[in-house]
Amino acid sequence: MNETLKNIAERYSCRDFADTPLTDAQVYELVGAALAAPSAMNRQPWRLYVVTDKALIDELDDEGMALLAAEEDKAAYERMMSRGGKMFYDAPCLFVIASDGSTYSALDSGIMCQNIALAAQALGLGSCIVGMLRVPLSGPRGAEFKERLKFGDGYDFSIGILVGRAQSGKEPHELDRGKVTFV
């Protein structure tokens, strides 16, 4: 099987990261893959923030879990608790994609995120795309966290992706070919 197609087929959402930090070379490769993402009219409406400060990742995690615990609807909190009680699964690296809110920025951010996920798989790393980062970034300490992440003016959270060495494996999700219509 073609190596690219193999990486697509074998990628899964890792929720069990080892303590091992990424090497500078791995981060460099992942950043290169992210920046190679296409965007509508090549506007590149994003900013990429690479967080390897484990204490900051843990602080975002703790704040997010506390905010989920305080919500009236406990579904998201209970789901996180059933997965070990961590929003970011002890990942050593968090890529945060912020966008300028322009027409195609959400789509373009998603493409960038997928590039990171596939590059991580190609490098033998695990990844997990995380929208839940919106919880601490939109909470009472959101402005503080955005400042610490060095968000630029006019940019807001779009999507995040955790990357690290997987502690254990998992099968990718089953393909549901019933969701496809050929015309």
What is the per-residue burial (b if ≥16 Cβ within 10 Å, else e) of 46-69? bbbbbbeeeeebebbbebbbebbe
Query: pLDDT of 60-76, one tens digit each?
Result: 999 999 999 999 999 99
What is the count of structural domains for the chain? 1
pTM value surpassing 0.85: yes
Confidence grade of residue 97 (pLDDT, cut at 50, 70, 90): very high
The CA distance from 14 to 39, in Å, is 27
Mean pLDDT of the chain: 95
pLDDT surpasses 80 at 160:
yes
Confidence grade of residue 172 (pLDDT, cut at 50, 70, 90): confident
Residues 87/135, Cβ–Cβ less than 8 Å:
yes
Query: pLDDT of 1-22, one tens digit each?
Result: 799 999 989 999 999 999 999 9
Beta carbons within 8 Å of 77's beta carbon, 6+ residues apart? 65, 68, 69, 71
CATH number of domain containing 156 = 3.40.109.10
Q: Which amino acid is at 40?
A: A
Q: Which domain holds residue 91?
A: 3-179
pLDDT surpasses 90 at 130:
yes
Cross-strand pairs, 93: 163
